[in-house]
Structure 1
Amino acid sequence: MPGGSVGWRLAVMAMIDAVGTGAFLAVSVPFITRSVHLSEGNLGLGLTLSAAVALATAIPIGVLADRIGPKKVLVAVSLWRCACFVVYPLVQNLWQFLTVVCLLGLVDKAAAPMEQALVGQATATEDRVRVVAILRSLRNVGFTVGALLGGIGLLIDTRPGYTAILLVNAASFAVLASLAARLPVLSAPAKSLRRRFSASVLRDGSFLSFTAINAVLTMHMTLLSIGIPLWIVQHTDVSSALISPLVAVNTVLAVALQVRASRDTDTIAGAARALVRAGICLALCCLLLITAPELPLTLAVGALLLAMIALTGGELFQSAGGWGGSYLLAAPGQEGVYLSVFWLGVAIQQIAAPVLVSLVVTTGTPGWTVLAALFAASGLTAPAIGRWAQTRADNRTHPDPAPAETT
């Protein structure tokens, strides 16, 4: 395990977090609709408000992390989430539900950048991308285990059963906070950083451009959860029963190949190449999906399988390139706020992509063609953005000397 004992501790933290979250995701909607008896519209309202709160707090929490360190922030965030999930089973009406999810939203988009920043502080530079890749593989396993655990609550289908699963998730955050508090770090925030927030990240065009193309490429998540299932059900003769095996193919390949896909992404050029591959893979996925409705059943299944493999390739290369690039492009001493902005791009995509992907599915071939072009263009733009960012980074490290005074 890269990172030695620290890497193993991070792995345990990732597994515990993923198991708890996977269990919660399995029961969250049935709990609100069946036990609390809220409508799907009320559920959507709560999630929308929570997302809005999360977007507003992501950058301030990143600023705080640069001042006191991501470890302390992650501990606080985990304890906050633990407290919220202890209260969650007590929700009885819409206003209580809105209150709890908005309180969760305060820190919802902070956990991922804090965890990434903590990996950067706790492991050597040459190990951090590999460590993050391993953690992502373990998270996929943990989500699956958690979903199976949540399935027990679904089988029981009573409020006490759902409550037990929700409290398991709360306990996972308590354990995560305890483990994070004892995690040794190699570096700490410099004393010179105890100053007012500088908006330099919002003026860093190369980093914002990198964040934008990465956000576009993370649409693979929405393709997996919404795009491909809707396309199969509405536009092909293939049975909807194929969706689960295709998702399983994605999960298995992601677990098996994520570390391999992260190789050579510890440089800006290497991270950019990974994003090029991601864009090409996702574009190929879209083009393969176009062919499925026109093919005989057996060939259509084959096309969908190849599309899922291409999607998984895009996911693996995007993740690796995004991690490597976000570490390397962050201004020294401002990793917390830079990574928060980076993950904010992913969050905005998660809000906008369902609408875009649904439109693509509705329009059919023209929509998939445009989306394929968007993916390809985003990936192919990465090297130029990488060179731009490298120039900015070099200028930060070696600023031009002041002109000599003449007499």
Structure 2
Amino acid sequence: MRKRAAAAEAPARTSRLVPPAGPQRVLALAQLSNSVGDGAYYVTSALYFTHVVGLAPARVGLGLTIAWAVGSVVGVPLGRLADRRGPRGTAVLLALATSFAVASFLVVRGFVPFVLAACAYATAQSGLAAARQALLAGLVSRQERTGLLAHLQSTLNAGLAVGAGLGGLALHAGTQAAYLTVFALDAASFLLCAAVLLRLPAVEPAHTRAGVAREHVKGGTPGVLHDRPYAVVTLLNTVLLLRMPLLSLGIPLWIAERTEAPTWLVSALFVLNTGAVMLFQVRMARGVTGAASATRAVRRSGLVMLASCAVFALSAGVSPWVAVALLTVGAVLQVVAEMQQSAGSWQLSFDLAPADRVGEYQGFFGTGVTVARTLGPLVLTALLVGWGTPGWLLLGGLMLAASYAMGPAVRWATAGGPVAPRVRQPVPAN
């Protein structure tokens, strides 16, 4: 009987980790295909640009900042293109464009070619993210979107972990050929992503699915930049996304500069975060089914993030192993807050967007990630390294304020805004 029960539970556990067969699984496979290449790219790109391309670190940082600034601006019109021309074809073309942009890094030598290639890469990546969200909206019902996005986030983390391992092999080799192989792998991964996306059924342009006349879309309805409630929600979400550079920059600097904890803890906390998201993001998103439950999830994430920041702050000035214990507890709280905030923001980003402009609105909402990645290092360095414990508490308070402000902003958005009417769903009482 126990063997039968275990056999019955195995498919259930698998179904929680793998999306259902059909378009959802194909979308996850596309996510996995390019995230492996991206993982290898992320861990090797800084040394490639400095050691192989021959750029100074400051110039690399400047070039990438310029590139992502351009990408964040272009993401909105590319999302609009996906709405008007169809998201599948747009996503395939942008995946191919990303592949070519990554491949161009193999031959650039010099600052100006590097900036041009980086701008092409950031533009294609930003547009691809928006087109994928529009494609998801066209293939998956509203009730299933947040759950699928949780699956995709888990898949992304799995792919990044595998890719980071491959990138680590290149770092260990330390040769130009190893770095070039990593970039070729990333370019190939986006070619594979484009091929996988072609397996999905064609999706009509958003205005056709929503039953909106073409003239209505073209003729005078204000765009997302005129939707002030949605802009406020995006801004608040951007504040909450300042936690993104914590693992890669804020916590490593804090451990090195302010605590007695061993430096290997940085890697351990990264593995803890990645593994937790892979295993629990889907479960964490299961209770988020509408605007009300999404708002509550975001609000809870602010409370948990404040607690996380307070625990991190306590790790200064204590013995090494006490610091290790406190930093581990803080990291657990941080990843719980991350998963709650992610689930809530995914739901809100779709629920508050007009049905005929999902790509455009997702392109705008996605700029929050770019802004957080661009400004986050400056903010976190000033707060955590410069101010120490008060900086942690200020960061936690800022997160809490943004999470609680999300409720009034969502009520403003659902009450009706200056854009075309949104397709509203009844909010279940959770």
Q: Percent identity?
A: 30
CA distance in 1: counterparts of 2:338 and 2:87, whole angstroms: 26
Displacement, 1:154? 2.1
The answer (yes or no) to whether the contact 2:262–2:320 under 8 Å persists in 1 is: no
Q: What is residue 383 of structure 1 aligned with on the other side?
A: 407
CA distance in 2: counterparts of 1:202 and 1:248, whole angstroms: 38
Displacement, 1:125? 2.0
Displacement, 1:3? 4.7
Q: What is residue 392 of structure 1 aligned with on the other side?
A: 416
Displacement, 1:186? 6.1
The answer (yes or no) to whether the contact 1:273–1:382 under 8 Å persists in 2 is: no
Q: What is residue 24 of structure 1 aligned with on the other side?
A: 41
Deviation track 1:273-292 (CA, whole Å, cap 9, x = no partner) reads 11011111111111111111
2:43 partner letter: A
Moved more, 365-374 or 331-340: 365-374
CA distance in 1: counterparts of 2:198 and 2:420, whole angstroms: 36
Where does 1:117-156 land on structure 2 (aligned, <5 Å)?
Answer: 117-156=134-173
Q: What is residue 92 of structure 2 aligned with on the other side?
A: 75
Displacement, 1:388? 2.1
CA distance in 1: counterparts of 2:407 and 2:324, whole angstroms: 35
Match 1:223 to one of 246, 249, 254: 246
Match 1:210 to one of 226, 233, 254: 233
Instruction: Mark the CA change 1:397 to 1:196 in structure 2 (over 3 Å): closer, same or farther.
Output: closer
The answer (yes or no) to whether the contact 2:30–2:196 under 8 Å persists in 1 is: yes
Q: What is residue 395 of structure 2 aligned with on the other side?
A: 371
Displacement, 1:2? 4.5
CA distance in 2: counterparts of 1:333 and 1:261, whole angstroms: 29
The answer (yes or no) to whether the contact 2:354–2:422 under 8 Å persists in 1 is: no
Q: What is residue 427 of structure 2 aligned with on the other side?
A: none
1:379 partner letter: S
The answer (yes or no) to whether the contact 2:256–2:263 under 8 Å persists in 1 is: yes
Instruction: Mark the CA change 1:334 to 1:397 in structure 2 (over 3 Å): closer, same or farther.
Output: closer
In structure 2, list runs of 5 or more residues that go unmatched.
1-17, 425-430
Q: What is residue 234 of structure 1 aligned with on the other side?
A: 257
1:382 partner letter: M
2:378 partner letter: V
2:389 partner letter: T
Is 1:249 the equivalent of 2:286? no
Q: What is residue 101 of structure 1 aligned with on the other side?
A: 118
Displacement, 1:187? 5.4
CA distance in 2: counterparts of 1:41 and 1:396, whole angstroms: 46
Return the TM-score normalized by structure 2: 0.88
Return the TM-score normalized by structure 1: 0.92
The answer (yes or no) to whether the contact 2:43–2:168 under 8 Å persists in 1 is: yes
The answer (yes or no) to whether the contact 1:122–1:185 under 8 Å persists in 2 is: no
Displacement, 1:35? 1.6
Instruction: Mark the CA change 1:11 to 1:119 in structure 2 (over 3 Å): closer, same or farther.
Output: same
2:234 partner letter: T
Is 1:266 the equivalent of 2:289? yes
Q: What is residue 336 of structure 1 aligned with on the other side?
A: 359
Displacement, 1:80? 0.7
Displacement, 1:351? 1.1
Q: What is residue 195 of structure 1 aligned with on the other side?
A: 218
CA RMSD of aligned residues (A): 2.1
Deviation track 1:186-240 (CA, whole Å, cap 9, x = no partner) reads 6542342452574342232221121111111111211221111111111111111
CA distance in 1: counterparts of 2:177 and 2:232, whole angstroms: 48
The answer (yes or no) to whether the contact 1:201–1:338 under 8 Å persists in 2 is: yes
Moved more, 309-318 or 390-399: 390-399
Moved more, 49-58 or 252-261: 49-58
Where does 1:275-286 land on structure 2 (aligned, <5 Å)?
Answer: 275-286=298-309
CA distance in 2: counterparts of 1:200 and 1:79, whole angstroms: 27
CA distance in 2: counterparts of 1:231 and 1:221, whole angstroms: 15
Instruction: Mark the CA change 1:185 to 1:279 in structure 2 (over 3 Å): closer, same or farther.
Output: farther
SS of residue in 1 equivalent to 2:289: coil
SS of residue in 2 equivalent to 1:219: helix
CA distance in 2: counterparts of 1:398 and 1:55, whole angstroms: 26
Displacement, 1:356? 0.8
1:110 partner letter: G
CA distance in 1: counterparts of 2:101 and 2:324, whole angstroms: 44
Moved more, 57-66 or 195-204: 195-204
Displacement, 1:75? 1.0
CA distance in 1: counterparts of 2:422 and 2:330, whole angstroms: 43
CA distance in 2: counterparts of 1:186 and 1:125, whole angstroms: 16
The answer (yes or no) to whether the contact 1:246–1:305 under 8 Å persists in 2 is: yes
Q: What is residue 28 of structure 2 aligned with on the other side?
A: 11
The answer (yes or no) to whether the contact 1:121–1:185 under 8 Å persists in 2 is: no
In structure 1, list runs of 5 or more residues that go unmatched.
400-407
Deviation track 1:56-82 (CA, whole Å, cap 9, x = no partner) reads 211111221121122222111111111
Q: What is residue 402 of structure 1 aligned with on the other side?
A: none
Moved more, 286-295 or 324-333: 286-295
CA distance in 2: counterparts of 1:397 and 1:6, whole angstroms: 25
2:413 partner letter: A
The answer (yes or no) to whether the contact 1:61–1:110 under 8 Å persists in 2 is: yes
The answer (yes or no) to whether the contact 2:86–2:204 under 8 Å persists in 1 is: no
Q: What is residue 403 of structure 1 aligned with on the other side?
A: none
Deviation track 1:222-262 (CA, whole Å, cap 9, x = no partner) reads 12211111111111111112111111111111111100111
Q: What is residue 291 of structure 1 aligned with on the other side?
A: 314
Q: Number of residue pairs matched?
A: 399
